[in-house]
Amino acid sequence: MERVFSYSFDQNGNLDLKVPSNIFEDNSDGNPQEPPVEPPASANVIDVTVEDYGAVPNDPSKASQNRAAIQKAIDENNYLVFPGKYYINAPLKTGSSKYTIGRGMRTSGVIGVAGMDAPLFIMENGFNSQFSDMELSYGDWSPGENRNAILFRGQIAHSSFKNLRFISVTRAFYIDPTSTIGGNVFSNNFENLYTFWYSKNAYHLKARSGANTGNVFSNLYCHNGGRDNRLSAAVTPYYFEELSESTMIQLNAEWSNVDSAFHFKYCRNINLLSGHIEGLNMKNSNMGLIRVEGIAGSPSQKGSLRIQGLDLYNVSCDVPGYVFQAVNNGVIYASDMNEQVTQGNLRLIHTNSSGEDYFYLENIRYRSISTIEPPVQLNANGKPKLVKFNDEDRYLIVPGNDGKYQITVENGVIKARKI
């Protein structure tokens, strides 16, 4: 309805416009009407719930009915609320401009029925979407290959995944390696995520096509149970491949048997801030809690990681293990690490003779680490693998008549030490 108001200018040129106090009254019925705030872009109704489409909470026998009802609700609405927990027996498909919202990760969500070995959600070419405030889990603990709670296909971009709890999964997130439409994540937020009881990786992102870039990960947590009650197989909580230009804040790898806690393969411009490792058992020899790889045989294509703040607590080495591992042209920059209450043989650095690998380590505090030096000290180009350790800069290795010497600068004085 159009309203017309008169106006005038005073002698100083100021606008004199008086708006009646009842401007928002609807004259058709006399009830005051507030102006809409960000009205929906389509005809979809705000706060539609899955129960409006016939989904029944807390009943495994309704899994087939729920799956059909929820899929129809997703197809017909951009904003969909899950007020309770709903069992399903087959994946739900979603895509762009879809808001999948719960009412709390302990009180609402989607549960795969016992024996289901398939994703809960398949997200294809998802732009400007959101998953939040719910639990995504399975009704039994039966480690399979395909219990990837959210499976990505195509490009997933400008979307948000926050306040989610994953239980009894193969992985919380996974990019489909068989997708015919490719797959990568671009400019997304992953925030306040919890994963309990996982059989492969808590979080696994390997680009199917293109690269994973521009993402922010904050407050991620994973846990596989206490030492006397956990999955016996070794897992890798965090696995990233071809990831770039991304920031990670407060990522926690806790209470699991592991190969590595963090594995970065051909990643670059990655910043890990305030990482936390606790209660892990290292199960395989010559592995690092933090493993960084480049591309083998290609020194110009290095994988790199920059760490600012890392706490290690109560790590048990069932076999000799390492904190940092750089192989196949890997580079690690780490500052401000604190280690305590380690059991077994934990060493600082692992690398091998192939590739150009470098470590820059500052303010490394430790109590139980047994060995600092890497097993291989020099790259093939004669430069040291461990370039910097705390206050010691290892600038150069040069040949002498009786062997090789490490050249350092200490308090302005150049020193040569035979190695």
Phi, psi of 341 (to 5 degrees): 55, 50
Contact between residue 301 and residue 266 where contact means Cβ atoms under 8 Å apart? yes
Confidence of residue 17 (pLDDT cuts 50, 70, 90): low
Q: Which pTM does this prediction carry?
A: 0.85
Task: Specify if 200 maps to a domain.
Answer: yes
Write out pLDDT tens, residues 364-408.
Answer: 999 999 899 888 888 888 788 998 999 877 656 677 888 888 776
Encode pLDDT of 329-351 as tens digits: 999 999 999 999 899 999 999 99
Between CA 37 and CA 260 the distance in angstroms is 48
Residue 284 phi, psi (nearest 5): -125, 135
Question: Rounded mean pLDDT of 347-369?
Answer: 94
Residue 252 pLDDT exceeds 70: yes
20 domain-assigned: no
- Which of 13-27, 62-76, 244-258 shows the lowest mean pLDDT across its residues? 13-27
Number of domains the chain contains:
1
So what's the pLDDT on residue 139? 95
The reported pLDDT for the residue numbered 193 is 98
Q: Note whether residue 387 is domain-resident.
A: yes
Label residue 310 exposed, middle or buried (CB < 10 Å: 0-12, 13-18, 19+).
buried
150-167: per-residue pLDDT in tens? 999 999 999 999 999 999
Residue 350 inside a domain? The answer is yes
Q: Identify the bridge partners of residue 303 per DSSP, sorted by sequence position.
A: 330
The reply to whether 15 falls in a domain is no
Q: Where are the beta strands (DSSP E) in 351-412?
A: 358-365, 386-389, 392-393, 396-400, 403-410
| Angle at the Cα of 73 from the Cα atoms of 69 and 74, rounded to 5 degrees | 120
- Which range of residues forms the domain containing residue 215? 47-418
Give the mean model confidence (pLDDT) for residues 98-126: 97
Strands 392-393 and 386-389 come out as antiparallel
**What's the confidence (pLDDT) of residue 403?**
84
Separation CA 81–CA 187 (nearest Å): 24
Is 7 a member of any domain? no
Domain with 343 in it: what CATH number? 2.160.20
Mean pLDDT of the chain: 89
Does residue 28 sit within a domain? no
What is d(CA 218, CA 188) in angstroms, rounded to the nearest whole number?
11
Q: Are 304 and 331 in contact (CB under 8 A)?
A: yes
pLDDT of residue 20: 56
Evaluate whether residue 14 is within a structural domain.
no
- pLDDT tens, 193-231? 999 999 999 999 999 998 899 999 999 999 999 999 899
Q: What is the mean pLDDT of residues 45-73?
A: 94
State the amino acid at position 302 in one-letter form: K
